[in-house]
Amino acid sequence: MKPRFGPSRSRPASPDLAVARRRRERDGLPKHVRAQSQNATLDDVAARCGVSYQTVSRVVNGSPLVAEKTRVTVLKAIADLNYRPNLAARRLATRRSNLIGMIGSHMTYYGPAQVMVSIEETAKRQGYNLIFSGVENPGETELLAAIDDLCEQQIDGLVIGVRFEGWIAAVRKHCREVPFVTVGNRIDDDIPGVVVDEFQGVRLATRHLLELGHQNIACISGPPDWPATQARYRAWHTTIKKAGRQPGPYVQGNWSTQSGYDAAIRLLRSGQPAFTAIVACNDHMALGALRALHANKIRVPRQISIVGYDDVPESRFFEPPLTTVHHDFVAEGERCVETLLRMINRESVDTTLQVLSPELVVRESTAKVNRRQKLT
């Protein structure tokens, strides 16, 4: 009697058999292809080039003790094999993460954003990456939580771009001996910091208008809770008073173009003695003011001169091109990173505040006062 067979039933391969099959398939490939199918190692790169493990390690770590021809060969193999360094192992070996942390606020505004970009680009040129933590309403709890979060990432250093005068001891404690610098603020004599002298910048702008013969100079400032607002407003007010004149009308904006427009309209409708010049405490508000003056058929600079602050790239294309103060955000970020890296490398650092000087850029939005011309 012939054996009877029922319908055939396929059985899935066991996990062990599937793994073995994949291993056999992989082992049938050339070695350099197998290396690409998984994470390539220094040994894979060395075998590909026919050099030692130590040579590849020297190339990866930027050692000068490698012949240029060998370096090129190793770098090509690294690219071909898509080798990625084991960052965890490197951190253990060097006790460095090559990470810099930064805490900042109001990053949607031009100035803070430019400082952050400069810090990131400068850090990258030095082999570091930047981790950013935004604190929009920087109170003590929020700031210390941000420091804790960044320190948990094993950062090598920290840039703090918000004020914390009342919490210095708490900040030092939470930084866990991670070196830190401040940017944009002077906090304490023992804490290295980098700032641009904003008072000097607006003083230059106001003096420029006074030298052009303007007697009544108005001001459009930023929001009152910003240190930058306070410094720029004081510079306008103090410079005019020292010249023996009375400051003109004053309106607050919020750094936006719309607020500059609204502020200029308020100035025009204020009913105060006619002003012949405006100090706008940033270029975006200056742009809004220019639009408001144009809408009211007031010619700039024939009837009213206007000065901005920041020197945004677009300011030279305003109509007319804007006289403004160049605040070097790039240098501010670069100097900050340079100082922090010296601290990371345990080099001596002068804690004296590093103050960068702004420059007045004269364009076509300012002119000598025309006393015969009256506002319409």
Q: Do domains 18-85 and 97-196+330-357 have the same CATH topology?
A: no
Tokens representing 153 are: 């990432």
pLDDT digits (tens, 9 = 90+) for 64-122: 788 899 989 998 988 888 887 665 555 545 566 789 999 999 999 999 999 999 999 99
Tokens representing 250 are: 């004053």
Q: What angle do CA 95, 97, 102 make, to 5 degrees?
A: 130
pLDDT at 84: 74
For residues 233 and 222, give the distance between their C-alpha atoms in angstroms, rounded to a whole number: 9
Whether domain 97-196+330-357 has CATH 3.40.50.2300: the reply is: yes
Domain extents in the chain? 18-85, 97-196+330-357, 198-328
pLDDT digits (tens, 9 = 90+) for 212-236: 999 999 999 999 989 999 999 999 9
pLDDT at 113: 95
Place of tokens 């020292």: 242
Tokens representing 317 are: 């294309």
**Is the CB of residue 195 less than 8 Å from the CB of residue 160?**
no
What's the N-to-C CA distance of the chain in angstroms?
Answer: 119
Q: Nearest CA to 212 among 144, 301, 99, 91?
A: 301
For residues 181 and 173, give the distance between their C-alpha atoms in angstroms, rounded to a whole number: 15
Average pLDDT along the chain: 86
85-99, 121-135, 270-284, 350-364: the lowest-pLDDT one: 85-99
pLDDT band, residue 176 (cuts 50/70/90): confident
Main-chain phi, psi angles of 358, to 5 degrees: -80, 170
**Is the CB of residue 167 less than 8 Å from the CB of residue 160?**
no
pLDDT at 12: 46
Report pTM: 0.75
Percent of the chain past pLDDT 90, that is, above it, reads: 66
96-100, 183-187, 363-367: the lowest-pLDDT one: 96-100
> Options 3.40.50.2300, 3.30.465.10, 2.70.70.10, 1.25.40.10; which CATH number does 198-328 get?
3.40.50.2300
Tokens representing 321 are: 């091109």
The answer to whether residue 304 scores a pLDDT higher than 90 is: yes
For residues 240 and 217, give the distance between their C-alpha atoms in angstroms, rounded to a whole number: 8
User: What is the fold, at CATH topology level, of the domain defined by 18-85?
Assistant: 434 Repressor (Amino-terminal Domain) (1.10.260)
- Radius of gyration for the alpha carbons in the chain, expressed in angstroms and rounded: 31
pLDDT band, residue 4 (cuts 50/70/90): very low
The answer to whether residue 30 scores a pLDDT higher than 60 is: no
Helix ranges (H only) for 140-216 are 140-151, 168-175, 198-211
pLDDT at 371: 60
